[in-house]
C-alpha cells in the first residue's frame, strides 16, 4: 500500500529553515530516521544515494496575484 503524507501549514522563514536543517541532519547520518508530518510520525530508511529534484514555478494571476513555489522532491527505495 502506498500512502502520501503531506504536511502543509504556514510557518515563518526561520521555522522553514529549521525544518530543512533538521531533515538535512538526519540525511547526513545515512540510515533510518523518523519524521513528523502533522499528527503522525513516519519512519524512513534511506540508502547512501537518493534521487533529488528541485523545481521553481512563478505564476501571476489577476485574481490571486503573484505566486512563487519551490518544490523539493527526494525519493529512494528503502534498504
pTM for this prediction: 0.74
Q: List, for residues 14-48, the tens digit of each pLDDT value.
A: 999 999 999 999 999 878 999 988 788 999 999 98
Average confidence (pLDDT) over 45-71: 90
Q: What percent of the chain has pLDDT over 70?
A: 90
The pLDDT-based confidence of 52 (bands split at 50, 70, 90) is very high
Show Cβ contacts of residue 52 under 8 Å, excluding neighbours closer than 6 positions. 72, 73, 74
Amino acid at each position: 500500500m502506498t500512502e502520501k503524507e503531506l504536511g502543509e501549514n504556514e510557518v515563518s522563514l526561520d521555522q522553514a529553515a529549521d525544518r530543512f536543517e533538521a531533515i538535512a541532519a538526519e540525511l547526513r547520518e545515512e540510515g533510518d530516521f523518523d519524521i513528523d508530518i502533522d499528527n503522525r510520525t513516519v519512519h524512513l530508511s534511506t540508502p547512501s544515494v537518493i534521487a533529488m529534484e528541485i523545481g521553481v514555478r512563478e505564476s501571476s494571476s489577476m485574481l490571486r496575484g503573484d505566486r512563487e513555489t519551490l518544490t523539493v522532491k527526494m525519493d529512494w527505495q528503502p534498504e
